[in-house]
Structure 1
């Protein structure tokens, strides 16, 4: 398994936002913190962003498996990942 870089490029390819496990309520809750980190421009040093879970780790609000689309993601493929549900 590869190590995923915390980068704007990877974030732009990320499809976590489309994941069925990532509920609408969770997305809305995550907007302020994630937006601030993204606007700072230096996501490589951000501790957490609600997205790109293969690089940033578990979600702070996703609690239930409702389907996983990780294998469809370019970041997943490019980094030769083989796990699923990085959000949990």
Structure 2
């Protein structure tokens, strides 16, 4: 399994926000923290973000697996990842 860098290029390719497990409520709840991290410029220094879960780890919001689209993501493919549900 690859090591995914926390950077804006990977974030721009990330499809976590389209995932069926990532509910609308989670997306809304994540806006302030995610916006602050993006505005700071260097997301590599962020400890956690709701999104790009293959780099940042488990979601603090997602409570139920409702489907996974990781294998459709360019970040997943480019980094040789082989598991699913990074958000869990």
Give TM-score, length-normalised by structure 2: 0.99
How many Å apart are 1:40 and its aligned residue? Answer: 0.6
Structure 2: segments with no counterpart, 5+ residues = none
2: CA distance between counterparts of 1:42 and 1:81?
Answer: 23
Is the counterpart of residue 74 in structure 1 residue 78 in structure 2? no
Moved runs in structure 1, 4+ residues, more than 3 A? none
How many Å apart are 1:3 and its aligned residue? Answer: 0.4
Number of aligned residues:
88
Match of 2:86 in 1: 86
Structure 1: segments with no counterpart, 5+ residues = none
Give TM-score, length-normalised by structure 1: 0.99
- RMSD over equivalenced CA pairs, Å: 0.4
